[in-house]
Amino acid sequence: MTPSGQFILHITTAGERWDLLAWQYYGDPTDYSPIIMANPNVPIEPVFGAGISIALPILQQSAMITADLPPWKLSQTASA
């Protein structure tokens, strides 16, 4: 997935983590790299305190993902 240039603003609660935000917004806890890159002023700590503003890039699916789909799935993604 690639960043689209648009963001969602998330205000942290105590105990949230980069991977939990990736899971919550992207469905993949390992996809936290775009979030870290979009927030260069936020220290990379294991857990957030409360009240930190985090910009979450809105990601778009890459064309490579659909290229790996079987033919009967390609027609479904074209109509979506």
The ranges assigned to domains in the chain are 2-79
Task: Give me the mean pLDDT over the 9-23 stretch.
Answer: 96
pLDDT class for 41, splitting at 50, 70, 90?
very high
Query: Does the predicted TM-score (pTM) go above 0.75?
Result: no
pLDDT of 69 higher than 80: no
- Determine whether 62 is exposed, middle or buried from the number of CB atoms within 10 Å of its CB (0-12, 13-18, 19+): exposed
Ramachandran area for residue 73 (φ above 0: left; ψ -120 to 50: alpha; else beta):
alpha
